[in-house]
Amino acid sequence: MKKTLKIVAMLLLVCVLLSSCEKSPAKVDSSKFVTSYPFIFVHGLSGWGSYDKQNKYLPYWGMFTGDLTEYLNEEGFECYSASVDPTGSAWDRACELYAQLSGSVVDYGEEHSKRCNHARYGKDFSDMPLIEEWDSEHKINLLGHSFGGATVRMLTEILANGSEEEKKATAEDDLSPLFSGGKADWVHSVTALAAPMNGTTAYDVDGSESIGDGFKAKLYEQLNKMMSIGTKERDDGRADFDNANYDMLIDNAKIMNEQIQTLDNLYYFSIPCCSTLQAEDGTQYPDESKTEPLFMKPSTLMGRFTETTLEGFVIDESWQMNDGLVNTISATAPFNAPQQPYDKGNVQKGVWNVMPTYDGDHMSLQGGITKKNDVRDFYTELLTMINGLKG
């Protein structure tokens, strides 16, 4: 009898353990969704995605807190993580993202590749597209973290308006469908997460309050060379200006903003981050409880930095709040674009709906590294809100 009871007890224990390992039911009521378009997550500078091996061991989205996209899929959303050039320009990364979404060969464009001195074609995604269908009937939602924000914005611009330079330089039967335009309605929403949409002063600070224009120009030149060499196509001799660093310099970000339209048919959201506190003299300093050690020095320098750029743009005290890598003001919306504070009852298309500043550093919306941050509920709420918007 005792032996029988032991066996029964063991079986009960096994059942309890097995039941605890079962996947819990999704918390999200998808019946309330107005749309259910896929969500495409695009990483920032030096990042990675689902096409990269390291993503299996350390997912960019979620980091040490677990794979965020996997969790969101279990909750009833359709989520994918793209892999674009870690240090590539916004143009190159947008072309790579298009190829992954459309299941085609990466085409950087005849005009662009010649001007920037690199190969026109890249990787072939024909047999491994990120999604099964993509057109005006099967839209997508784009989310870009950090420089991923510039990447998704550039993609929407080219989808909508194409490229006159590429059309002029390329035979009609040789032109990528990306550059022909007319695809503005292939995207439902764009969300920029801690994105330096107006550039960042992280590349300007060097420990001094100001540096001479001559030195600054040389510094930019060296940074651009280092960044261009660091792209996936390392020895292709590409132009020094065809990289992420160049696009994130404040003067260059301003030019890029003038080239990228805010489209009337898209929903736009931005989520700035801040991990600094105000000192008695009005400057900003990093909150150690929220800021990764890696960001402490740049955050400190950015927090007291003011100057005028080479092209005459004034960086004043409003730029001092930051998340360790990006100025909070820069992550609100492109300065030349319409914007409004996020209002759940008044979300508009063609306007940047600026959500409340997130209390965390630049890595917080990824899940953090040493400052672990569980963002599952945050993204569940965000994606639920987007799915509740009319198409």
- Domains within the chain, CATH numbers bracketed: 30-200+209-282+330-387 (3.40.50.1820)
Q: What angle do CA 229, 230, 232 make, to 5 degrees?
A: 105
3-state secondary structure of 237: coil
Question: What is the rounded radius of gyration, in angstroms, for the C-alpha atoms of the chain?
Answer: 23
Cβ neighbours of 158 (radius 10 Å): 22
- What is the DSSP pairing of strand 140-145 with strand 187-193? parallel
* Encoded tokens for 215: 């030195």
Distances from the Cα of 80 to the Cαs of 132, 138, 258, 379, in angstroms?
A: 11, 15, 30, 14
CA angle 211, 214, 217 (to 5 degrees): 90
The label of the residue with tokens 């995605």 reads 49
- Determine which helix (DSSP H) or strand (DSSP E) holds 221, and give its type and residue range: helix 213-229
Are the C-beta atoms of residues 174 and 274 closer than 8 Å to each other? no
Residues 6 or more apart whose Cβ sits within 8 Å of residue 118: 108, 233, 236, 237, 238, 239, 242
Q: Which neighbouring-strand residues pair with 144?
A: 42, 192
Per-residue pLDDT of the chain (391 residues; tens, 9 = 90+): 333 333 333 333 333 333 333 344 456 777 778 999 999 999 999 999 999 999 999 999 999 999 999 999 999 999 999 999 999 999 999 999 999 999 999 999 999 999 999 999 999 999 999 999 999 999 999 999 999 999 999 999 999 999 999 999 999 999 999 999 999 999 999 999 999 999 999 988 864 444 455 545 554 554 444 444 455 544 567 888 999 999 999 999 999 999 999 999 999 999 999 999 999 999 999 999 999 999 999 999 999 999 999 899 999 999 999 999 999 999 999 999 999 999 999 999 999 999 999 999 999 999 999 999 999 999 999 999 999 998 7
The CA distance from 96 to 127, in Å, is: 15
Rounded to two decimals, the pTM is 0.88
